[in-house]
Amino acid sequence: MIEIQQISKTYNGKNGQVHAVKNVSLTIRKGEIFGMIGYSGAGKSTLLRMLNGLETPTDGEIVIDGVSISKSKASHLRKERQKIGMIFQHFNLLWSRTVLENILFPLEIAGVPKKQRVDRAKELVRLVGLEGRENAYPSELSGGQKQRVGIARALANEPKVLLCDEATSALDPETTDSILSLLTDINRGLGITIVLITHEMHVIQKICQRVAVMENGEVVELGAVLDVFTNPQQDITKKFVKQIKGSEEFVTELTRDASSNGNTKKLTFTQSHVQQPHISEAVKLFNIEINILNGKIVQTSEGSYGTLLVQMIGKTENIENAVSYLQSQQVEVEVV
Ligand SMILES: Nc1ncnc2c1ncn2[C@@H]1O[C@H](COP(=O)(O)OP(=O)(O)OP(=O)(O)O)[C@@H](O)[C@H]1O
């Protein structure tokens, strides 16, 4: 669906050249929700802006649905851009226009006849859950409602791709969740491919199927969200995963206390295994006791995974058998 082929972008800044994006190659699949995460300055916005032709790459090519965005002529690009909607952290609404008028705007630009565009705008108001607020001005709306207008406006011309630039970064956690749910509904219901950039791992965790981690203009890690969460490779990825899993220091402290009694183990569960009662089975089968010292189960759009720090008490042989049993059930067991 989206082919990013050896894309680079270099700016001529005041203090010399800035290599904002360096030789990035990625394929984003049709219908997926793809996340790009990185700290400020990693090059996420530049990459996203190249996807809809707002920036031209210094090198490389971007092909969306078989059409080269990076090499299209201006007139052609304008048409292609209608297939790509975009939403922003600060909404970018027209403040002198009402909700309905904001949504009508891209339809006016696309030359859609009046009756048709009003019908379409009303349908979009319903889709994003803003019925009754059609005549409100942006200044009268909450942050979440403003982003709903942004989403409706971005969907007006029935795009195939929706780009989200830190779309929930200005919102509180509850509103963030409701906007992320709306994006998931749109992805599933309308089959729109979503590409989002963020510096918040819970956004990736909540709705993305795959993630690219960016650092210094490069993609340093790429994979299915569940794989990246359970087995992060790069230091930066480990830091992002920690945002979700909580403080390792706390676990370390608990481990130190517990390990004086021996037999402290870290159990890592992935996907469906989390739901199954492996621990109580191990207790029953091998006549041991298991104390849970610490743990966290995380839900992702692809399934759940989690880690439990446990202390196993019982005869050494029984503990060894219980460990083998857990391993045979695809639970990773690490001695700490
Ligand atoms: N128009 C520009 N001119 C010069 N340098 C730029 C320009 N736009 C971005 N940069 C630089 O390119 C690098 C990447 O910026 P970019 O905005 O893409 O990062 P980001 O990961 O999106 O971070 P943020 O979330 O802070 O925007 C930064 O060093 C930035 O200063």
CA 112 to CA 2: how far, in whole Å?
A: 27
> Is the model's pLDDT at 256 over the cut of 80?
no
Dig out the tokens for 195 from the structure: 């590409």
Lowest pLDDT segment from 106-110, 206-210, 222-226, 329-333: 329-333
Which two structure tokens, joined as six digits, stand for 304? 């759940």
| Structural fold of domain 246-335 | Alpha-Beta Plaits (3.30.70)
Domain edges within the chain:
2-243, 246-335
User: Does residue 251 carry a pLDDT above 90?
Assistant: no
ipTM: 0.95
CA of 163 to the centre of ligand 1 (A): 17
**Whether residue 60 has its Cβ less than 6 Å from ligand 1:** no
The verdict on the CB of residue 265 being under 6 Å from ligand 1 is no
Residue 250, pLDDT above cutoff 50: no
Stretch 192-217: mean pLDDT: 94
Decide: 231 and 241 in contact? Cβ < 8 Å.
no
Which pLDDT does position 293 carry in this prediction? 79
Write out the two tokens for 70: 């990076």
Distance (Å, rounded) from C-alpha 261 to C-alpha 168?
45
Whether 89 is in the pocket of ligand 1, judged by its Cβ within 6 Å, is no
Span 216-237, mean pLDDT? 91
Q: Is the pLDDT of residue 153 over 80?
A: yes
CB of 38 sitting under 6 A from ligand 1: yes
Helices (H) and strands (E) in the chain, counts: 12, 14
Q: Whose CA is nearest to atom 1 of ligand 1?
A: 11
Q: Which CATH number fits domain 2-243: 1.10.10.10, 3.40.47.10, 3.40.50.300, 1.20.1090.10?
A: 3.40.50.300
Mean pLDDT rounded to a whole number for the chain? 88
Query: 41 C-alpha to center of ligand 1: Å?
Result: 5
- pLDDT band at 247, cuts 50/70/90? very low
Give the confidence band of 22 by pLDDT, cuts at 50, 70, 90. very high
Note the pLDDT of residue 106.
94
pLDDT in tens, 44-92: 999 999 998 889 999 999 999 888 887 777 777 777 777 899 999 999 9
Report field, pTM of the whole predicted structure over 0.90: no
What would the pLDDT profile of 300-323 be if each residue is shown by its tens digit?
A: 777 777 788 888 888 889 899 999
Which numbered atom of ligand 1 lies nearest the CA of 47? Answer: 18
How many whole angstroms from 219 Cα to the centroid of ligand 1? 15
**For position 272, what pLDDT does the model report?**
56
Report the chain's terminal Cα–Cα distance, integer Å. Answer: 44
> Distance (Å, rounded) from C-alpha 32 to C-alpha 35?
10
